[in-house]
Structure 1
Amino acid sequence: MTNAPITLGPMPDANGYFGEYGGSFIPPNLSAAMADISKAYDEITKREDFQAELHSLFANYVGRPSPIFHAKRLSDKLGGAQIHLKREDLNHTGAHKINHCLGEALLAKFMNKKKVIAETGAGQHGVALATACALVGIPCEIHMGQVDIEKEHPNTTKIRILGATLVPVTRGQATLKEAVDNAFEEYLKNPEDYFYAIGSIVGPDPFPRMVRDFQSIVGKEAREQFQDTHGKLPDIVAACVGGGSNAIGLFTAFLNDASVKIVGVEPAGKSLDVVGQHAATLTKGKPGVIHGMRCYVLEDSEGVPSAVHSIASGLDYPGIGPQHSYLKDAGRVTYETASDKETLDAFMELSHVEGIIPALESAHAVAWAIRTAPTLPKDTHILINLSGRGDKDADYVAKLLNI
């Protein structure tokens, strides 16, 4: 562990730490494999041909830049701050996940790996990685909790159609944590030939920085777009936080702008007061180690990662990206929560008022904005990362609401 002073300068340090968080807590036999990935990542990102190919795919395959939409009807209805949406839901595959999945798939190809392995919660990472692997021609294996498979059926169908192998995980809660455990165990069988494409800014170094770097295009675009349209930066930027990739993708571009308030919105689930009924890691957790990194962790009375709950499968995780842990301690990012009910209400409100069906994950940030906007002046601008679309959630929500 390091004890670096609080700074918003370049992160992480040479050992993969964001202050006291991050690092690489892995079995000795994996150290060489992680070092190889780190070396290959550092090498490939310096190559002009890699950057040219990635940016060509962003433009011509993903459809970047994603637009910013002023949710004027919703803003007018709330009678306060102006709400704007960074439309990552319009990307190919329907979410921000494709941004880092293309990078990881190209890296796996560069390293001559024979199979790419990953976990998925809501299925968006699974769909995006299956898509990227089909594009570059590498076999793909997606591990997904059985609960999430039943909850996110449209995405599981897409994963199979794209040619990937879907591995159901039935142990424990059969959700995202167990999917991570299962995928990692498979990766351990042959780390020389397999590539583990982590789906967020979590895990051992270099993954928190690597996924962040690929996702940083979201904030870079948003910063330029907002200034071009409004002649200023937004007053507030906000995003949902589970592992934290969509949030850090937006936040990174604004970290050094003192005029911009940054808000991450965690899942309060059914109750913040009951262990296992929420997944608000930064709000209720404490520093610990999970899945190869030091970060804030939700633990039970025995000191092991606790059961968690969120209406959104992609936020159903008892850990958090180490950079988010650092930014909480630094006080640069404010972490709020939204409950399942608020999220479901926001899902329906955005659908009815703006004709945009958001992912349940993204709807957490929308719920916070709906709650907050009326308390702010009308000339305040809130920019939300609408990280995914709600096609995957439509059947589940319809069942919940008896639509």
Structure 2
Amino acid sequence: MTSLTHANEAGFFGDHGGRFLPPHLEAPIAEVAAAYAEAKDDPAFIAEYEALLADYVGRPSPLFLAQRLTAELGGARIYLKREDLNHTGAHKINHTLGEVLLAKRMGKKKVIAETGAGQHGVALATAAALLGLECEIHMGAIDIAKQHPNVVRMRLLGATVVPVESGGRCLKDAVDSAFGMWAADFGETMFAIGSVVGPDPFPSMVRDFQSVVGREARAQILEKECRLPTALIAAVGGGSNAMGLFSAFLEDPDVAIYGVEPAGRGLDHPGDHAAAMTLGSPGVIHGMQTLVLQDEAGEPWPVHSIASGLDYPGVGPQHAHLRDVGRATYVTATDDETLDAFTALCRTEGIIPAIESSHALAYAMKLAPTLSADDVIVVNLSGRGDKDIDFVAERLGMV
């Protein structure tokens, strides 16, 4: 039975999810599914994972009231869930530690993955170094150029970075490349996917590891405000940071939920945006059925976002289900709106956010003034913007 919070036995959230696999990937995916089903119910595995979150990542991450931004905008109070303060600078470390622990439990010697903005790659390389596994990261050539600091970090941490020159040379193509390499060497390697996407069990597994964000945010806002928030806002590419926050509030109907995807240069033309929830249609990509930006033949469109971590033509299947049943609303922010939000948070709060997170901030800046001073918004600040400063400086004419 499908619910808001869990997939059914076939891995579907409503009409979305499942496993759509070529024969050569059926065995490695089944192996991961069986291993995770056992590990998630093992108190020793969970205890080791939670100890690393506390002592290595530095959890819980703070929930911070952005007082100056709130005062400037008027209306609702804006809280930021500070995932940017985690070790490695983003939410990605929450699930990569779980994935590498699982790979080690399975007796694997290596983890392999894709990355867009590089935050998943850095976090996976970090977890692999900590736990003694090899790491291979596939990254689109365009993103390598945009995110050079993260490429250096991955290499310093001992990872092999594989440039992907095929297709659009961005996140979708990096996923294709990494899946292909894994299929050729799954005996000693585990694929450690970077979001709530892919064939079952990956959307549920990554969601489970990221759910710490929502559990903490719920407890923190109750302590600070003695109430649940009016609204939650998070950026959505594949959707891991958003699902991490949303997961603890799905059964609270009075809490509005907003996912913000990239409108890029505008929604009028394929290739100018990555708004799969807004303009996508049902299709299959990377082993899952979900909403996909695609042509009439079912081929994914080229996509664009100022944020390398959001330029993906699909979306996690649980997000697609939440949209179908009306539990979450999915909106967009353009590149220009995102840059405005980025600079606003720098100026008002002394926080340099990731460009990905700035999509959520952009919508919060629209929503807050329409609400009252009694309302409360929680924004997932999914990462810090150190990786983006050279690119932003160039865009803003600072260099």
Q: TM-score range by the shorter chain?
A: over 0.9
What CA distance in whole angstroms lies between the structure 2 residues aligned with 1:303 and 1:97? 30
Aligned to 1:263: 258
Pairing partner for 1:52 from 36, 42, 47: 47
Q: Which residue of 2 aligns with 1:289?
A: 284
2:42 pairs with 1:11: no
> Which of the numbers 361, 371, 376 marks the counterpart of 1:376?
371
> 1:313-356: per-residue Cα shift (whole Å, max 9, x none)?
00000000000010000100000100000000100010011000
Q: Distance in 2 between matches of 1:258 and 1:18?
A: 19
Unaligned runs of 5+ in 1: none
Question: Partner amino acid for 1:51?
Answer: I
TM-score (norm 2): 0.98
Number of the residue aligned with 2:122: 127
User: Does the 8 A contact of 2:64 with 2:82 survive in 1?
Assistant: yes
Paired letter, 2:252: D
Contact 1:61 1:92 in 2 (8 A): yes
SS of the residue corresponding to residue 64 of structure 2 reads strand
Contact 2:283 2:298 in 1 (8 A): no
Three-state SS of the structure 1 residue aligned to 2:80 is strand
Q: Confirm or deny that 1:353 pairs with 2:358.
A: no
Where does residue 183 of structure 2 map in the other structure?
A: 188
- Look up the match of 1:396: 391
Give 2:235's aligned residue: 240
1:179 Cα deviation (Å)? 0.4
**Structure 1 equivalent of residue 300 of structure 2:** 305
Partner of 2:97: 102
Q: Does the 8 Å CA contact 2:141/2:169 hold for their aligned counterparts?
A: yes
Q: CA deviation at 1:301?
A: 4.4
Q: Is the 8 A contact 1:275 1:300 kept in 2?
A: no
Q: Determine the C-alpha separation between the residues in 1 that align with 2:284 and 2:296.
A: 16
For the 8 Å contact 2:232–2:246, the answer to whether it is kept is yes
Distance 1:270 1:145 in 2: 20
The list of structure 1 runs, each at least 4 consecutive aligned residues, that deviate by more than 6 angstroms after superposition, is none
1:113 aligns with 2:108: yes
Q: Which amino acid counterpart does residue 181 of structure 1 have in structure 2? A: D
Please state how far the C-alpha of 1:14 moved relative to its aligned partner.
0.8
Does residue 1:165 correspond to 2:164, yes or no? Answer: no
Question: Is 1:231 paired with 2:226?
Answer: yes
Indicate if the aligned counterparts of 1:96 and 1:388 stay in contact, CA closer than 8 A. Answer: yes
Secondary structure in 2 matching 1:357: coil
What is the CA–CA distance in structure 2 between the aligned matches of 1:396 and 1:79, rounded to whole Å? 30
Instruction: Give how far 1:302 is off.
Output: 3.7
TM-score normalized by the length of structure 1: 0.97
- Measured against aligned partners, the alpha-carbon deviations of 1:177-200 in whole angstroms (never above 9, x if no partner) come to 110011011001022221000000
Give the C-alpha shift of residue 294 in structure 1. 0.1
1:187-226 to 2 correspondence within 5 Å? 187-226=182-221
Q: 1:322 aligns with which of 300, 317, 323?
A: 317
Counterpart contact for 1:74–1:350, Cα < 8 Å: yes
How many percent identity over aligned positions?
A: 61
Tell me how far apart the structure 2 counterparts of residues 43 and 385 of structure 1 sit (CA, whole Å).
Answer: 30
Q: Determine if the alignment matches structure 1 residue 144 to structure 2 residue 139.
A: yes
- Please give the alpha-carbon distance, in whole angstroms, between the structure 2 residues aligned to 1:48 and 1:255: 25
